[in-house]
Structure 1
Amino acid sequence: MSDSAQKPLPFGFQFLAGAIAGVSEILVMYPLDVVKTRAQLSTGANTGIITTMSNMVKNEGAASLYRGILPPIMVEAPKRATKFAANEQYTALYKKMFGFEKVTQSLSVMTGVSAGITEAFLIVPFELVKVRMQDKRNLGKYNGTADTFKKIIASEGALALFNGLEATMWRHAVWNGAYFGLIFTVKDNMPKSKDPNQQRITNFAAGTVGGIVATAFNTPFDVVKTRIQGYDGVGVKKYNWTLPALATVAKEEGMASLYRGFLPKVLRLGPGGGILLVVFETVSGFIRKNILKE
């Protein structure tokens, strides 16, 4: 999130900075996403991060830790770019619409929620393909990303690619609202400095705190999104809509099951949120200084 005193970057540069930030984060943190999805799809006892990774490497090979990475890589650039660019654009829009003179926490939450909903429409087909490829029940069923898209459309219809859209909107609205709201609060309460190293520390701290708290809020929505998207058209469809699915999981498996995969998720999106913000602000600063000559 850019400093409130600065004008938003032109959309193309916002997109570029967000894309670089997103791809940087996913390349570093992706194995934790695979472990998270496995945990969320399971209804049995959790085996833990290290045990899950060890078993995957032993039984499926080291490459299994990156299974399904192509769909999120394909969408990661526009996804993260949309996250930051839409947030910047909604900030300008809502400041004008509601008369905000400066960025406040309530404005940050509003823009974050709006950016999250916008982001959800873009990513849902890629999220669905990623979940199907990460699911250990589907080992050998899909031969790469293109084959996964093709088989889903052939057996379930093209609209199946948007299964879980409503849950994805909940997941991203909650995460982005909490993330951008917390970024504002943490940055506002940390020492102000023009030293670039101190600014990076502040950004990393703000992004990490925002990522951790946002993950705590949105994990239940992520669990039901994964369950909804894991259904491949075979048998009875148990999960359809977000709120009823939350109630079903809580009733049948206990409230704690709504936080399946929380540890790998928070380990990814806590530091991952810090990486996102640091890279985004660093690239944005480079663009302002060296390209736009601000």
Structure 2
Amino acid sequence: MRPAAALLCLLALPAQAGVDLSRWKLTLPVDADANGRADEIADPAGASVPPWFEQDGQDLVFRAPAGGARTTGNTAYARSELREMDTSGRPAAWDCLQAARRMRLEQRLLATTPAKPEVVIGQIHDARDDKLMLRYVGPPGANGHSDTGRIEMLWNNAARAGTLDPAYVLGQPMAVDIEIRQGRLAVRYRNLASGLDHALEARLDPTRIEGACFFKAGLYIQACSTTDLAGQPNQACLRKGWAPARHDAPEARAEVRIQALELDSPPR
């Protein structure tokens, strides 16, 4: 359900010629109706919820704070993120071990939270957990705006990992092709500033898959604050038992800008 426009300060914008949002649902790091869950927009085309989601020309801008609303009380992290839908407007659900699917992304990660500079910027998810994550991990002592970190690929519920870019500088444009074909993953990553072109392949573990799969794009921060923006405790964050230096301020935020986003079925 689309939350009330007055609650979300939802702004109607002219139709854009950029990313086609008809195949996506948007989750936001806000709880405007105070029901304890992050708000969603079922049809985000032409929507703007400053500062968390904005359409700037043909680009999509996503921001999420460490103290943002979460999807459930059991998760510590907030997101400003798209979830794949099918052509009928229902949540997409395809077989991770049989389907042939592809997502193409062009994007720039512009900012991270400084205390724990970790951000997921693309996923394949099943009914329970992530099957593939693209994750940026920044350096100790990060400033969140000009750091050099690494971009890695994690799969099988993060049981396996490989590095796509060992020296990604925040703000650099990247192009990523994620293809899954009958349980085999192929990810091609290109840093359009440095010229790095790297590919990784992997196979999903059938015993780790629960239910159907779907793509996600946007911003899912891997940082949290002990209290949220409303001053309420984030119990899931507290349960992690981190040292105080690992907790970000509630207002600390990450930002990603997507220039291109496509879904298709690759040729056989």
The structure whose residues are more often helix, as a share, is 1
**Greater fraction strand:** 2
TM-score by structure 2 length? 0.24
TM-score (ref. length: structure 1): 0.22
